[in-house]
Amino acid sequence: MNNSWNKFIYKFGSPIYDKFFNSGGFLNARKQIFQSIPFNNQQKILFVGVGTGADLELINHANLNITAIDYSPDMLGKAKKKFENSTITFLEMDAQNIEFENESFDYVIASLILSVVPDATKCFQEMARVLKQEGEIIVFDKFAPKNKKLSIPKMLLRPIISILGTDIGRSFEEISPENIVVKEDTSLMLNGMYRKIIIGKIN
C-alpha cells in the first residue's frame, strides 16, 4: 500500500464506492455514529478521507463549519458534486500530512481511513495534532481484534486484500498516539471487526 497505488485504486473505485460503503450495514453503522454527535455552528469540523461524502449526507451540514479532505481527486470530485451548493470546503490533501495548524478543529472525523493510508500511525498523529484540547476524534473503521492474533485465514488474505488498498490486520491499539484517551469503543459490524471509537486528548 502506498499513496500512488491508493490514488490509482480509488480512481476506478470512486464510481461504485457508494454501492458498497454507503448502503446496507455500512449505511446503518454510519447513521448510528452521526445521529449521536452534537455538532453546532460554533465548531470547526474536519472530515479526514471524506471519500464520496457518505458521512456528510447523514448530518445537517447547513451552517456548519466543515472542511473535508481526501487524497484521491476522483473521490473528492464525487463529494464536491454532491455538495456543490454547500459551504463545505473540499481540499485535496494527504491525511498523513494534514496542512493545518495545531489544535485547529473541535471534531476530527475519520471513517474508513486508518485502514487504507500507508502509514496509519502518522495519520493518527496528525489527526491528534490538529484536534483542539477539548475536542474529539470520531473513528469508524475495521481493526484486528483487541489482544488477539489474526486468524489464519485473515493472515493469508491480508497481503491479497492490501492490493485493493486496505488492511484487515491493523491494530487500533498499536497505531494510537500516546496523547489520546478512548472515551467509547463500540462494535458496529461483523462481530467487532468494524468499530466506532470516540477519542479525546490527554491534558
Q: Give the pLDDT band (50/70/90) at residue 182.
A: very high
**Does the pLDDT at position 12 exceed 70?**
no
CB 115 within 8 A of CB 141: yes
Percent of the chain with pLDDT over 70: 98
Say if residue 148's pLDDT is above 80.
Answer: no
Amino acid 168: pLDDT: 85
Grid cell at residue 174:
498499536
- Predicted local confidence at residue 191, as pLDDT: 83
Instruction: Check pLDDT > 90 for residue 73.
Output: yes
What would the mean pLDDT of 99-103 be, rounded to a whole number?
Answer: 97
Q: Which DSSP string corresponds to 108-170?
A: EEEES-TTTSS-HHHHHHHHHHHEEEEEEEEEEEE-PPTT-PPPHHHHHHHHHHHTTT--S--
100 or 144: whose pLDDT is higher?
100
- Whether the model clears a pTM of 0.95, i.e. scores above it, the answer is no
pLDDT one-digit tens code per residue, 13-48 = 788 888 888 899 999 999 999 888 989 999 999 999
Element (DSSP H or E) covering residue 66: strand 65-70
Residue 188: CA count within 13 A, CB half-sphere: 23
